[in-house]
A and B are shown apart, each in its own frame.
Chain A
Amino acid sequence: MGAMIELVDVVKRYGDVVACNRLNLAVDQGELVTLLGASGCGKTTALRCITGSLRPDGGRIIIDGRDVTDVPTHKRNIGVVFQNFALFPHLTVVDNVGYPLRVRGVRSAERRERAIEALRLVRLDGLGGRFPRELSGGQQQRVGLARAIVYEPTVILFDEPLSNLDAKLRLEMREEIASLKDRLGFTSIYVTHDQEEALSLSDRIAVMKDGVVHQVGRPTEIYGAPKTAFVAEFLGNPNRLTGVCVERTEDQVVVEADGQRIAAIAESDTPKVGERAVVYVRPESVRIRNGTASADESTLRATVVRSAFLGDSTEYILSLSDSVSWHLRLEHTTRLTVGEAVDLSALRAGCRAFALGESADDGTHRGASAEA
């Protein structure tokens, strides 16, 4: 059994801007794949091509084995959860949820029954008689969810469904979507710019930039083994150090910057000796050194510049040189004072080096494998 949703070389242009540049992606049955990227990266365009709101300039879109590229939206049998909820303001909650059934000719009694069942699934029992405007934002999005699942569509698309909700509700709804997916096993594409959302919800993530998928993989792969500088930079808020590659062996590359040396994991496309390079360091791989560093750690000198109390921890801004500052979160058991000089240990496994070509992004397109 092949992929449930397949994008084949999908191209979409707006004038001179290429919003989707030969997009390839395959989503398996029951899988949730996230399109992750900053605004303008083409993820929403890709989604709108799948819903049929936009017609791609090139390529094919295949849903459940059927080429739907030329099929109008209302015949694609998809469910969409919208960012702004997009509920029908003149219909009650039950009628909103029942609308997909109504247009499919389901009789009113059965429609009502199934709408109420869908509302129960999103834990909105008893609110069916209300109008959308009488509900909170979180409740409205639950109605949106219920409306998307009620007719058991082949695929469900999520278009930044949580970004109009406040932080607390966002967590709650994230849980809700995850548990619904476990129970119903739907296939979905989820569009977001929020990396935490993507990492926690997805089976796989496709990181996008400038209409191109940079990397597709499980959240742990994307986070732990970014293939391009962009992916490394975009996820996990890493520290960065730019310098020159001074040593390259089978398992590590060493980059020197302002007299400090840092070792990073070697990959096939890591920089060659003498090349300018950037190293991304995961904050959780950095610690304050006490005693000697182990073989797989680099030692760096830094000065404490600023501290910010965050409640459960304190974040320190550390200066490695005039132009490089890192951030580091520490439990309250370790206290640093501003102005103090410290030795840092950076675990090699948390460091990735990328060659810096003429432009900082140059290395990124090379790894743009978008196979699924």
Chain B
Amino acid sequence: MTAVAVAAGARIRPRVGPGLSRLITYTFLLAFVLYVLSPFLAILVTSIAQDWFGGRILPGSLTLRWFDWAFNVTNLPGVMANSFIIAGLTIAISLVIGIPTAWALGRRHVRARNVLMTLILLPKTVPPITFALGLSREFYSFDLVDTHLGVALAHTTLALPFVVLIMSATFAGLDERVLEAGRVCGGNWFRNLVHLVLPMAMPGLMASVLFTFVTSFNEFTLTLVTYGPDTLTLTVQTYLAIGDGFLEVASAISVVLLVPSVILLLLIQRQIRPENILGGVKGL
């Protein structure tokens, strides 16, 4: 009944010419795509451009010199290593803290659940610089500044909410009766954990690892107040290069910085679908 009415309504609606309507749609779409992509385009071109100033539309010539500078002058390999070490530590800490928390929140009756959830989300909701200020004071008193662990701990405050949210949803989605079936079949808790829970939670686990990695790899504000000469990360190095006036070198570092995010984006598009997160069985 309603569907018929809607269909009829659609038919009697005054029609804009199909050509015009399409033109408007595509103009907006194009504007949006340009808006989103143009900064990346600018960085990409800057990083390989030579003689690109003074109102030129296209650079005079292309070069890989800026990448060379980035690698040699700013010790990019060492900085990259820092970023990876810190990201790895952040993943480890976030999972160690996040998974048990998520299990409790997702599978057990937790009384102060809402308070706990708010607390976990707090570092993500307050202005980063406020949080960073408090954090830096704390870190100075614990001698955590300019240590990989310190920076990773700072990043963990941002990554943990992701991990807890994703994993508690994953654990909540595990069918208790399936786990019971595992016990009935004769599996003790360890076997069921390895053979059943882990594989069933794997998509959530992968998503947590990826999001944590990107969060840490791309993090700037908290890094800025906790880094030191030994823990310089890619984001901070980019910032410093801009400060030094080396826009081309900064762009080159940015391009390197972009790689993991792009890979993640592709992975998300291909792998992380709701139907993969929970196996989905008929008859439920």
Contacts and interface: CB of A to CB of B under 8 A. Distances in A.
B188 A74 contact: yes
Most chain A beta-carbon neighbours within 10 Å: one of B177, B184, B200, B279 = B184
Contacts of B196: 88
Contact of B185 (A52, A133, A135, A147): A147
A73 interface: yes
Contact of A51 (B180, B199, B281): B180
Majority secondary structure of chain A interface residues (helix, strand, loop or mixed): loop
Nearest to B185: A100
Interface string B181-205: 1111111100100011001101000
Given A88-B181, A89-B178, A140 B283 contact: yes
A137 B180 contact: no
A90 interface: yes
Interface in B225-284: 278-284
A119 to B, nearest CB: 16
Nearest to B278: A89
Interface in B141-193: 175, 177-178, 180-188, 191
Interface stretch (A77-85, A315-323, A345-353, A356-364): A77-85
Interface residues of A, number: 37
A88 B179 CA distance: 9
Most chain B beta-carbon neighbours within 10 Å: one of A87, A90, A131, A140 = A90
Contacts of B195: 99, 102-103
A314 interface: no
Contacts of B186: 74-75, 77, 100, 103-104, 151
B187 A132 contact: no
A148 to B, nearest CB: 8
Contacts of A82: 177, 180-181
B184 A89 contact: no
Contact of B282 (A74, A75, A140, A147): A140
A133 B191 contact: no
Contacts, number: 92
Given A132-B279, A133-B279, A84 B284 contact: yes
A290 interface: no
Contacts of B188: 72, 74, 103
Contacts of A90: 199-200, 202, 279
A86 interface: yes
B282 A86 contact: no
A156 to B, nearest CB: 10
A103 B183 CA distance: 10
B188 to A, nearest CB: 5
Nearest to A75: B186
Given A90-B200, A140-B282, A164-B283, A73 B181 contact: no
A9 to B, nearest CB: 24
Given A84-B283, A103-B191, A133-B282, A89 B200 contact: yes
**10 tightest CB-CB pairs across the interface, nearest first?**
A89-B279, A86-B181, A100-B185, A73-B183, A103-B187, A137-B283, A86-B177, A80-B184, A90-B199, A103-B186
28 contacts: A51-B184, A74-B183, A74-B185, A74-B186, A74-B187, A79-B184, A80-B180, A82-B177, A82-B180, A82-B181, A84-B284, A85-B283, A86-B175, A86-B178, A87-B178, A88-B178, A88-B182, A88-B196, A89-B279, A89-B281, A90-B200, A90-B202, A100-B186, A103-B185, A103-B191, A132-B282, A140-B282, A164-B283
Interface of A: 51-53, 72-80, 82, 84-91, 99-100, 102-104, 131-133, 135-137, 140, 147, 151, 164-165
Given A75-B186, A79-B184, A80-B181, 10 more contacts: A51-B180, A74-B188, A77-B186, A86-B181, A89-B279, A99-B195, A132-B279, A133-B280, A147-B181, A165-B283
